[in-house]
């Protein structure tokens, strides 16, 4: 791997310049690849087909394997959101289809494997679960380009049990869902909220997972304290991404120790 390209997600809290600096430092002792930052992937690699490809990738319902709605109105909607990203939201896309569409949108010279492209997205993406017949939201989809979904950080991991109980109770009493802010204030426990100020810090670990997949054939680590841990719950995301230590001993060898940690005991 010669180079890493990160793409900004300007409608989100994710600070991509800071992420790039961190990543470059982490790669310094192994591949020593430069990490460059570009604007939004969907702007840099825009093609005429992109809106239709996104419309095809829309998940129709949580339990329906078939995706896509290419009615004119939907394609127009996708065109509008490509132009004005802050008008999007509320749509789940098949992450693998989006990845294929973005791969095809790149010019062939860009698709070389020596450069890893990581598209940070402001869209929710999912993958189909063959085992349980439903869509699951994801934070990242590995490959070329790798996708990292910022809404996925807030929505994909399971929240504390109490969150769902509060939501259910509120629905029983009032017949509707409580506002997000109400739940977030009422529920104890650790989870990331939408536009969380810790977003950039957490994004770093998910970008590194995409890198580790390319370098070592496996994205994840079994150690729940490590940045490469594939957490399924918010408490796990916080443990892996925000608490010390940064890495397990094995990955600390590879990606460097914390500056604040002594180099040896």
Residues that bind Zn ion (CB under 5 A): 221, 223, 226, 228, 248, 251
Least separation in angstroms between residue 129's CB and Zn ion is: 25
The shares of helix, strand and coil residues in the chain, as percent rounded to the nearest 5, are: 45, 15, 40
Bridge partners of residue 127, in order along the sequence: 136
Reported as half-sphere exposure (CB side, CA atoms, 13 A), residue 224 has a value of 9
Neighbour tally for 126: CB within 10 Å: 24
Considering the complex, state which of residue 163 and residue 255 has its C-beta at the smaller distance from Zn ion. Answer: 255
Considering the complex, state which of residue 106 and residue 226 has its C-beta at the smaller distance from Zn ion. Answer: 226
Considering the complex, state which of residue 68 and residue 236 has its C-beta at the smaller distance from Zn ion. Answer: 236
Least separation in angstroms between residue 220's CB and Zn ion is: 8
Place of tokens 């129709």: 60
Nearest to 248 by CA among 226, 229, 215: 226
Least separation in angstroms between residue 138's CB and Zn ion is: 20
Least separation in angstroms between residue 228's CB and Zn ion is: 5
Contact 58, 74 (CB under 8 A): yes
Report CA Rg, the chain: 19
Least separation in angstroms between residue 100's CB and Zn ion is: 30
Q: Is 67 helix (H, G, I), strand (E, B) or coil?
A: strand
Considering the complex, state which of residue 110 and residue 223 has its C-beta at the smaller distance from Zn ion. Answer: 223
Considering the complex, state which of residue 168 and residue 218 has its C-beta at the smaller distance from Zn ion. Answer: 218
């Amino acid at each position: 791997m010669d180079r890493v390209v990160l793409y900004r997600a300007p409608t989100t809290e994710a600070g991509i310049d800071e992420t790039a600096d961190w990543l470059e430092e982490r790669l310094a002792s192994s591949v020593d690849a430069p990490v460059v930052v570009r604007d939004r992937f969907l702007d840099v690699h825009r093609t005429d087909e992109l809106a239709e490809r996104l419309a095809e990738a829309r998940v129709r319902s949580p339990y329906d394997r078939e995706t896509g709605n290419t009615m004119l109105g939907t394609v127009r909607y996708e065109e509008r959101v490509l132009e004005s990203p802050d008008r999007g939201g509320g749509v789940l896309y098949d992450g693998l289809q989006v990845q294929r569409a973005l791969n095809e949108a790149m010019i062939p010279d860009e698709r070389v494997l020596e450069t890893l492209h990581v598209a940070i997205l402001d869209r929710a993406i999912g993958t189909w679960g063959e085992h349980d017949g439903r869509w699951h939201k994801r934070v990242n989809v590995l490959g070329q380009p790798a996708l990292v979904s910022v809404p996925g950080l807030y929505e994909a991991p399971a929240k504390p049990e109490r969150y769902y109980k509060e939501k259910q109770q509120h629905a029983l009493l009032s017949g509707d869902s409580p506002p997000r802010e109400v739940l977030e204030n009422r529920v104890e426990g650790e989870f990331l909220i939408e536009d969380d100020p810790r977003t950039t810090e957490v994004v770093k670990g998910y970008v590194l997972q995409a890198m580790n997949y390319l370098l070592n054939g496996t994205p994840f680590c079994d150690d729940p304290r490590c940045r490469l841990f594939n957490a399924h719950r918010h408490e796990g995301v916080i443990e892996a991404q925000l608490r010390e230590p940064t890495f397990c001993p094995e990955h600390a060898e590879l990606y460097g120790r914390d500056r604040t940690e002594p180099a040896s005991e």
